[in-house]
Amino acid sequence: MTRVALLWHMHQPFYQDLTSGDHILPWVRLHGLKDYYGMAALVREFPALRVTFNLVPSLLVQLEAFAADGASERTLALGLKPAAQLSAEERTYLVAEAFHANRWRMIDPYPRYAELLRKREEHNGNGAAAAARAFTEGELRDLQVWAKLAWVDPLYRSDDRVRRLVDRGRNFSEDDKLALREVELDVLRAVIPEYAAAAARGQAEISTSPFYHPILPLLCDTDVHARAHPHQRAPRQRFRHPEDAAEQLRRAVAYHTATFGAPPAGLWPSEGSVSDEVVPLAADAGFAWMATDEMILARSLGQALTRDGHGHLQQPEILYRPYIVRAGGREITCLFRDHVLSDLIGFTYASWDAEAAAGDFVERLLEAGRRYVHRSGGEEAVIPVILDGENAWEHFADGGRPFLRALYRALTTTPGITTVTMSEACAGASTVLNGIFPGSWINGDFYIWIGHPDDHRAWGQLAEARQALDSPGPAADAAALARAREEVLVAEGSDWFWWYGDDHSSAHDLEFDDLFRRHLRNVYRALDKPVPEDLFVTNITTEPPRAAAEPPTGFVRVTLDGEVTSYFEWLGAGAVDLRAISGSMHQMAETGEAATRLLLFGFDAERLFLRLDFQKRAADLLEGGLEVQVQFLTPADTRVRAVSESGQTTADVEQRSGGEWRSRGTGAAAANRILEVQIPFSDLEAAAGAPLAFFVSLHRDGRELERHPAHRPLELSVPAPEFEDYNWKA
């Protein structure tokens, strides 16, 4: 029997400014509306399922505030304000912020919401204020509704209040907004009770993380980063406060106990971050188990974990078992997640058919179990699968519910597989690991949180504020010290450092940066000390990562031969540099498939051109059964299939009608070192100025391996003949 330990980790940053009480960003509320309730409620449908939910205390504190209708948050307030009373500045903010959702899955399926987004795009060229002025009062009211309605949990879609709004689609009233607010509060109030009920039924174990989600090893000693990167520069001041790490754990246990009626048995250290110093802290806090990533196990053992060409682990007897980790005179049981299996759910299956994805996943589990039995001499495998429980679902159809149902059905009905909680998976651990390599579930190190100059600046500021707390001066009374202490603990959270540097970026980088520095400024103010000037200046000095797509700048002049014929043939093309993206390209490299390295797209006046560079020779991959598809959202139900057979590469344009794909035209393709594809605009029935939106995907044996871009289509317009005249540049 193969035992599968599935853990869903629920986490959002702590968005509240403790001084003003305002929640700066809406994601706790929106994910509470869309994900957190349904993830727990769904397990009711599968009584045999056993699963672990990891709930970060600082997330639950914010959820409780929103559920009690006691949280102040600007997007929420503007969404409820009568549309006729919105000021010009409020209209601008609303139109700018109301579309932060997955366009393909959460906006385009709703005609009115998509229509409003197109209107903003049409007017955005003149600035945000001009775009907002273009919206009528009725359109603003519809936008207020859809910006929330699109986030409603799929399990609540049958609620009469929700169904009526979705069916009507437009021309909403102020009363409709209030009815939707009632739904929102109903969902938010049901979140924590639903997890408690799942635990009471014995279906779910609830574990926790450090209270404000800090990277515990870095709180213990920032110099631990040098273990993986010995020659890298360090922050201007060393941060070394293991007592803070211990307090973050104690607070988590106390909050969890008060909320769920019993202390947690297990700990998911923030970002899977562990070190030898963390082991005694976790054990002293009462935890029986913790978990992290397979790369940490490999580095701890000094032995590589490798996979074959299908992504199957070649050392299953090493990974698929619990370990007893001993360090600092204490011990704790530890599980190490299967990185590839976890990331298949998080990054790859979103574009698959739900049943096919669940089937593929279960087959991989069965094969892993068979290999473990063979290599271990008959023992049962314990396969930990650990990933975020909210962030992936906006990229899945219907909020991920069809996939989760298919997955849970397969896990509970497939002979040879049983699901277990993490505590059950850890029972009977006997293999001892003397010490654990310091690192996280991302690359097995802490580079994300301390590797960049922006990170160094922030850690230096945190260290100085922490020193101020240790020498408060006579003016600070007990209440002031408590306020300053809380601000420091919040600032120790991982999320501020996640967004610094050039490896991650979002539309709200400046808000994260400002909120981090605001917490530190509040420390000095609470202690009645001068605020350092650098806390009034942004820490963001490095460039954000490149945009996923750079648009074409001129016509391309391609020789269709599957070779880089000259430097100039693709000179005007748009580009998607997949080496800069940590999505599916990274995943397929993990599983042994040949990943796409570069995608170029361009056109002349009559044809769309695509070029794909792979890690291996394109002709070999296509002759080996790889199929490349260009899947168009606009024009709808259109695709192009590039395949090779007997040395001949073809590109057929197909249209779906009545559920079947029928030939619509013939493009052309050539595969040699690279793959080049050309598609006549006439076959797409797209004249000059017509919009195009498409993904490029790789398939083998009927299953999708990669999709680029991962979550949003490439969008362009068919060029007019004078395109180059308008876009010429020296």
Residue 370 confidence (pLDDT) above 80 = yes
Q: Provide the pLDDT for residue 304.
A: 93
Distance of CA 696 to the CA centre of its chain: 21
How many whole angstroms separate alpha carbon 115 and alpha carbon 134?
13
Give the pLDDT band of residue 616 (cuts 50, 70, 90).
confident
In terms of average pLDDT, the best of 416-425, 527-536, 623-632, 703-712 is 416-425
Radius of gyration of the chain (CA): 27
Between 2.40.128, 1.20.1070, 3.90.550, 2.60.40, what CATH number should domain 574-727 receive? 2.60.40
Residues with Cβ within 8 Å of residue 670, at least 6 apart in sequence: 560, 561, 562, 649, 676
Give the pLDDT band of residue 397 (cuts 50, 70, 90).
very high
Residue 475 confidence (pLDDT) above 80 = no
Q: Provide the pLDDT for residue 710.
A: 64
Residue 420 confidence (pLDDT) above 50 = yes
In this structure, are residues 664 and 654 in contact, taking their beta carbons and an 8 Å threshold?
yes
Give the pLDDT band of residue 583 (cuts 50, 70, 90).
very low
Q: Provide the pLDDT for residue 81.
A: 98
How many whole angstroms separate alpha carbon 226 and alpha carbon 269?
20
Handedness of CA 191, 196, 202, 205 (dihedral sign): positive
> In the predicted model, what is the mean pLDDT of residues 444-454?
94
Q: Provide the pLDDT for residue 588.
A: 39
> In the predicted model, what is the mean pLDDT of residues 56-63?
98
The torsion angles phi and psi of 4, rounded to 5 degrees, stand at -110, 120
Exposure string over 101-131, b if 16+ CB within 10 A, otherwise e: bbbbbbbbebebbeebbebbeebeeeeeeeb
Q: Provide the pLDDT for residue 309.
A: 83
Exposure string over 516-531, b if 16+ CB within 10 A, otherwise e: bbbbbbbbbbbbebee
In terms of average pLDDT, the best of 280-284, 582-586, 613-617 is 280-284
C-alpha distance from residue 453 to each of 233, 447, 449, 510, 571 (Å): 9, 11, 11, 16, 34
User: Worst-scoring range by mean pLDDT, 43-52, 413-422, 562-571, 620-629?
Assistant: 562-571
Give the pLDDT band of residue 52 (cuts 50, 70, 90).
very high
User: Worst-scoring range by mean pLDDT, 75-79, 137-141, 253-257, 715-719?
Assistant: 715-719
**Three-state DSSP state, 717:** strand
Burial (CB count <10 Å: 0-12, 13-18, 19+), residue 159:
middle
**DSSP calls for 35-69:** IIHHHHHGGGG-TT--EEEEE-HHHHHHHHHHHTT
How many whole angstroms separate alpha carbon 229 and alpha carbon 298?
17
Residue 474 confidence (pLDDT) above 70 = yes
The torsion angles phi and psi of 432, rounded to 5 degrees, stand at -100, 135
Pairwise pLDDT comparison (194 vs 504), residue with the higher score: 194
How many whole angstroms separate alpha carbon 353 and alpha carbon 407?
12
* Per-residue pLDDT tens over the stretch 350-366: 889 999 999 999 999 99
Q: Provide the pLDDT for residue 461.
A: 97
Residue 584 confidence (pLDDT) above 50 = no
User: Worst-scoring range by mean pLDDT, 78-92, 269-283, 313-327, 586-600?
Assistant: 586-600
User: Worst-scoring range by mean pLDDT, 168-182, 299-313, 699-713?
Assistant: 699-713
In this structure, are residues 206 and 40 in contact, taking their beta carbons and an 8 Å threshold?
no
Tell me if the domain spanning 452-536 has CATH number 1.20.120: no
Q: Provide the pLDDT for residue 689.
A: 83
Over pLDDT 70: what percentage of the chain? 94
Predicted model pTM: 0.80
How many whole angstroms separate alpha carbon 127 and alpha carbon 513?
24
Residue 585 confidence (pLDDT) above 70 = no
Give the pLDDT band of residue 720 (cuts 50, 70, 90).
confident
> In the predicted model, what is the mean pLDDT of residues 582-595?
40
Pairwise pLDDT comparison (107 vs 552), residue with the higher score: 107
* Per-residue pLDDT tens over the stretch 496-512: 999 898 777 777 888 99
In this structure, are residues 297 and 336 in contact, taking their beta carbons and an 8 Å threshold?
yes
* Per-residue pLDDT tens over the stretch 518-575: 999 999 999 999 999 999 989 998 665 444 678 888 889 999 999 988 767 888 888 8
C-alpha distance from residue 651 to each of 438, 642, 693, 705 (Å): 49, 4, 18, 19
Domain-wise residue ranges, the chain? 24-46+57-196, 452-536, 574-727
Handedness of CA 216, 587, 636, 393 (dihedral sign): negative
Q: Provide the pLDDT for residue 577.
A: 61
Mean pLDDT rounded to a whole number for the chain? 91
Over pLDDT 90: what percentage of the chain? 75
